[in-house]
Structure 1
Amino acid sequence: MNLLELHARSLELAAAVVDAVQPEQLVLPTPCGDWSLRRLLEHLVGQHRGFAAAAGGAGPDLAYWRDVPVHGDPAGAFRHSAGRLTAAFAVAVAAADPRPAPLWLPEIRDDGPLPFDRAVGFHLLDTLVHAWDVAVALGSPARLVAAVESEPALAGTLLALAGAVPAGTADRAPGRAFAAVRAAGEAAGPFDRALALLGRDPAWAVPVG
């Protein structure tokens, strides 16, 4: 699989996780600081819109990156926006001469556009990690982890992308996308190792009581 195919696969796996979300579960906490499940899903749909706009040539306008309300149909909102993003990436590649133009991602980087492949890779990483955030909030991350790890190309890409994220003190300060790198156990698989590289606790669970 090439990077775009792996990206599309990551969206398919994430959508399958979001399909299980029930309206009453939107208030659940997530590993993303103080974000509820609703807030996380609205962020994901907003990111789909932002990346799609960037692939279509939008400049550094943060208006494209606002969270998008999911109302009572988070799965529908996720799948619709993911489909538009996949199409936007495909159009950018088809129109490439000789390669797709760099993408402006102002919410992520404000000092210039990123090369197309790096932008796609970043979204693939974000998709799978946030899919895990959703799955663990629902109490069922094992299926997602097993699905990713059953596809060596996808699991290897996830781990490589996580390892490439800057890990300096300034890069992992409070308010940043990822926390300080954690140690992974010797028996950890590639998904848990990727989570640890990004500062996620693979053992995180919704607090009881």
Structure 2
Amino acid sequence: MDIRKLDRTAVRETARVLEQADIEDWDAPTPCADWTLRRLVAHMAGQHHGFAAAAAGGGDDLAVWQPAALGADPLTAYRTAADAVLDAFARPDVLTREFAIPEISAGIRFPAPTAIGFHFLDYVVHGWDVARALGVPLHLDTETAEAALVIALRVPDGERRIGPAAQFRPALSAPPGADTLDLVLTTLGRSPGWSAPAAPASAPRHRSGQGDVPAR
């Protein structure tokens, strides 16, 4: 499994999906509870910068992990962050390094393949979050989805998934006929059937639907 290739596929797909966002979409709700698309993408861009810093040995500084300022052109800001992390991961010696990721553990450094695997899983899931917020398809090949499921099944369940700071929610039961991506989502506490809450009649949106319980 080439984790860097898989990660690049997932990250590039998030950028492709975001290219379909209209101006009003940046205030749209997402499957991440209480997060608009703008706030989700600020988090995603910030994590790209954090992982890029970690790849260069600077991940200990919590400041590099903060949500990014997206400014007036959030798509360009996101693409810049995505390019930064993919360039950092592409360095010839990166797989021999250890990454500090204080948001996961303040006292443990992670081997690069493991750390890049964390990043990869996040961007498979966040790619789905963005696609659902926009009401558009997420295109991931079978290899990418199956690799994400392998990593998702290793994420511990239980009490650590409860609370506002939890990265994922407790696992859900998979729906009948669930495909591989659905299994990734339910393993990490997301409902594959999520859609944005219906907009008020006085303020219709071009994409809407009946929502269910969101998962961050």
Give the structure-2-normalised TM-score: 0.87
Residue pair 1:102, 1:114 contacting (<8 A) in 2 also: yes
- Kindly state the Cα deviation for residue 178 of structure 1 after the two structures are TM-superposed: 0.6
Residue pair 2:51, 2:59 contacting (<8 A) in 1 also: no
Residue pair 2:152, 2:184 contacting (<8 A) in 1 also: yes
Partner of 2:105: 109
Q: 1:71 to 1:24 in 2, by over 3 A?
A: farther
Aligned counterpart for 1:134 among listed residues 101, 122, 130: 130
Q: What are the within-5 Å matches in structure 2 for residues 91-110 of structure 1?
A: 91=91, 94-95=92-93, 99-110=95-106
Q: What are the within-5 Å matches in structure 2 for residues 149-160 of structure 1?
A: 151-160=141-150
Q: 1:59 to 1:126 in 2, by over 3 A?
A: closer
Secondary structure in structure 2 of the residue aligned to 1:106: coil
Unmatched segments (≥5 aa) in structure 2: 201-216
Q: What are the within-5 Å matches in structure 2 for residues 13-162 of structure 1?
A: 13-91=13-91, 94-95=92-93, 99-140=95-136, 143-144=137-138, 147-148=139-140, 151-162=141-152
- Kindly state the Cα deviation for residue 112 of structure 1 after the two structures are TM-superposed: 1.5
Residue pair 2:14, 2:123 contacting (<8 A) in 1 also: yes
Aligned length: 198
Partner of 2:181: 191
CA distance in 1, matches of 2:59, 2:42: 22
Aligned residues: percent identity? 39
CA distance in 2, matches of 1:114, 1:95: 15
Secondary structure in structure 1 of the residue aligned to 2:122: helix
Larger fraction in helix = 1
**Runs of 4+ off more than 3 Å:** none
- Kindly state the Cα deviation for residue 2 of structure 1 after the two structures are TM-superposed: 1.2
Secondary structure in structure 2 of the residue aligned to 1:103: strand
Unmatched segments (≥5 aa) in structure 1: none
